Amino acid sequence: METEGGITVRRALELPGLRAGLPEVLTCADRLDRTVRWVHAGEAPNIPALLKGGELLLSTGLGLGSRPADQRAYVRKLADRGIAALVVELGPRFERLPTAIVEAARTAGLPLVQLHREVPFVAVTEEIHTEIVNGHYALLQRAEEVHRRCTQAVLGGGGVPQVLGILADFAANPVFLETPDGRLLFAAGAGPVGADPLQVWEGLRGDRAAREAPPAGALVVEVPGGGLGAGSVRARLVLLAVSGPLVTVHRMAAERAAGILAVVLMQARQEDEVAARGRGDFLTDLAEGRIASEDAPAQAGVLGFRPGGDPLLPVVMRLAPESAPSGSWALLARAVTEELAAVGAPVLVGVRPVEGRVPLLLALRPGTTRAALGDRVATALRAGAGRAGLERAGDRTPVVVVVGAAGGWAAAGAGLRHAAEAATAAQGLGERPWYDARSLDIDLLLWRLRDHPDLASFVDRAIGPLREHDRTSRPALLPTLEAYLAHAGRKAEAARDLHLNRQTLYNRLARIGELLGTDLDDPQAVLALSLALRARRHTR
């Protein structure tokens, strides 16, 4: 990336201070556009070690040495430090620069200038430094102008697209706002010959490997995460140099735009979360009977939910408490809402962070079955949770989706309450896209009795000997009993599920019957064991 904020060697030679010395460029006249970061005057033989690069070095030649080998080594060291140019004043030390110095500078690609008249180095230094400071101030003014325009856009009701548009116009290159892991959020500006910025991003950043490292010539600025913790990153700005180079002033402008974007994103997150919590409060009040069914349609209409006369389908998504940190609820609400837009039915989505729930109501349109809508809604909810980082491939899912019974406004509150309680009772059950609330009634009843000592005593009487066996012996027999009961006593299916041959399964079932002192063919015994296994989750 090019550098701005200094002056070029060419400009330094044009200033009165050096121009008075009648400068003669001896080498690398094609490199006079190098940027001078600072000016240094010195004669010490070890001065190369004191420089950082980008300096214009002024010398009378006293430190250059008298032997050609020393002179060549001195020039090579200066070039290795990356100085902008070497300016030597002719006088008592040299009437003309030695060939060894000139050839070493030419070989190293270092601009070498000799002054034919004496000039005060202090005046030259002050003059060039003033130019450099003025150049930096001019850059700051240009960057502050971008900041001012972005601020005005936001105060005028604009948001992220307007801020990115201003920055893209200033940089004359496409600008992208990405998540920290490289997913595109917004884009602005045009690529070469008017190409759409999304096409540019797909071409340069579309695959996962390209997202891990910025493209060549890109400028990346982090958007701070604000209240999410010190050092956290909410997003990142990426400017791609596809229409022209990116220089220092573009980084300065991008850093100022990033500060404004942090505020805009924080405000959007807060507003989204407040709105989502408000909808969640309405749905919870409806579920708990604090809103009369005859008043609910009008209040829902204010929140943008107008299902007409269609039946209402209550749905609740439950999250494991540890899987949903406080800062993720706004992102979750937005992601779920966007995913549900594809369902094609009116929907009202809320969040209840305290209970770890996402309650919603949907209109069940004519021609759509409850099962089909449940499938689509569950898929959308899980996709939204995945986008919010709350459900990842390969992890044990922390998400439970429960679909209640469809009905009118009079039944909507009870349906939401039933689904919410059933979702809590379903935590820890086997993975399933979604649960029918009615199929969880036994689990819900057992969950409500979870603190009653009689339930623990029942579980211990029913399967206690089996639990004790599994703590001390192998193979464990509880999984065998669970599979046998899950397949309603069909031994062939249970054996396949357990990857056992039938004789091994028969032997294990006989051992289970012996330990429990019961007959696994007795319907009453099977019912008691099924209840005990389901109750075990709530009494641990």
Which domain-ending residue is among 422, 444, 466?
444
Q: What is the pLDDT of residue 370?
A: 92
What DSSP state is assigned to residue 352?
Answer: B
Whichever domain contains 462, its CATH number is: 1.10.10.2840
Tell me: do 163 and 100 sit in the same domain.
Answer: no
Predicted pLDDT at 315: 95
pLDDT for 142 equals 85
The CA–CA distances, whole Å, from 414 to 237, 268, 286, 297, 417 equal 47, 33, 8, 15, 5
Q: What pLDDT does 230 receive?
A: 39
Tell me what pLDDT residue 113 has: 94
Measured between alpha carbons, how far is 41 from 253 in angstroms, rounded to an integer? 33
What CATH code is carried by the domain that includes residue 312? Answer: 3.30.70.2730
Q: Does residue 283 sit within a domain?
A: no
Cα–Cα distance measured from residue 124 to residue 19, given in angstroms and rounded to the nearest whole number: 10
Would 275 be classed as within a structural domain? no
Question: In the numeric block, which tokens belong to residue 55?
Answer: 């300096």
277 lies in some domain:
no
Are residues 333 and 262 both part of a single domain? no
Let me know whether 167 and 122 are in one domain: no
Residue by residue, pLDDT tens for the chain (540 residues) are 334 556 889 989 999 999 999 999 999 999 998 988 889 888 888 888 888 888 899 999 888 888 999 899 999 999 999 999 999 999 888 889 999 999 999 999 999 999 999 999 988 998 888 888 877 777 788 888 989 999 998 888 777 888 988 998 988 888 888 877 776 777 788 666 555 555 566 666 555 444 556 666 688 888 887 544 334 667 888 888 887 888 888 888 899 999 898 888 777 666 667 678 888 889 999 999 988 999 899 888 878 889 988 999 999 999 865 555 555 777 787 788 888 888 888 999 988 887 888 999 999 999 899 999 999 999 988 888 888 777 544 444 568 999 999 999 999 999 999 999 999 888 777 678 899 999 989 888 988 888 888 888 898 998 989 989 988 888 988 999 988 888 888 989 988 988 999 899 899 999 998 998 888 888 898 899 989 888 887 776
- Report pTM: 0.51
Q: Are residues 91 and 18 in the same domain?
A: yes
Q: Are the C-beta atoms of residues 59 and 78 closer than 8 Å to each other? A: no
Cα-based distances in Å from 91 to 86, 115, 175: 16, 9, 54
Q: Is residue 143 part of a domain?
A: no
Distance CA 207, CA 213 (A): 11
Number of domains in the chain: 4
Q: Are residue 374 and residue 506 in the same domain, yes or no?
A: no
* Domain final position from 444, 475, 492: 444
Q: Is residue 287 part of a domain?
A: no
On whether residue 363 sits in a domain, the answer given is yes
Query: Residue 41's domain is classified under what CATH number?
Result: 3.40.1390.20
**Alpha-carbon torsion 71, 77, 80, 84, what sign?**
negative
Bridge-based pairing of strands 55-59 and 85-89 is: parallel
If asked whether residues 435 and 314 sit together in one domain, one would say yes
Q: Which residues contact 325 (CB under 8 A, 6 or more apart)?
A: none
345 and 471 together in one domain: no
Please compute Rg for the chain using Cα positions. 37
d(CA 537, CA 364) in angstroms, rounded, equals 34
The angle subtended at Cα 139 by Cα 137 and Cα 140, nearest 5°, is 65
pLDDT of residue 299: 84
pLDDT of residue 4: 53
Do 302 and 234 fall into the same domain?
no
Q: Quote the domain boundaries for residue 531.
A: 453-539
pLDDT score at 32:
92
What's the CATH number where 200 sits? Answer: 3.30.450.40
Structural domain contains residue 285: no
Q: How far apart are CA 378 and CA 145, in angstroms?
A: 48
Domain termination residue (choose one: 444, 468, 488): 444
According to the model, what pLDDT value does residue 319 have?
Answer: 84
| Same domain for 221 and 175 | yes
Rounded Cα–Cα distance for residues 115 and 33 (Å): 19
Residue 31 lies in a domain: yes
> Which phi and psi (to 5°) does residue 215 adopt?
-60, 160
- For residue 162, what pLDDT is reported? 87
Do 402 and 303 lie in one domain? The reply is: yes
Rounded to whole angstroms, how far apart are CA atoms 243 and 178? 20
What is the reported pLDDT for 228? 40
The structure tokens 């009040």 sit at 285
Same domain assignment for residues 122 and 162 = no
Q: Which residue has the tokens 């602005």?
A: 188
Q: Bin 304: left if φ > 0, else alpha if -120 < ψ < 50, else beta.
A: left
Dist. CA 152–CA 45, nearest whole Å? 55
- The answer on 165 and 257 residing in a single domain is yes
Placement of tokens 């995945």 in the chain = 386
What pLDDT is recorded for position 2?
38
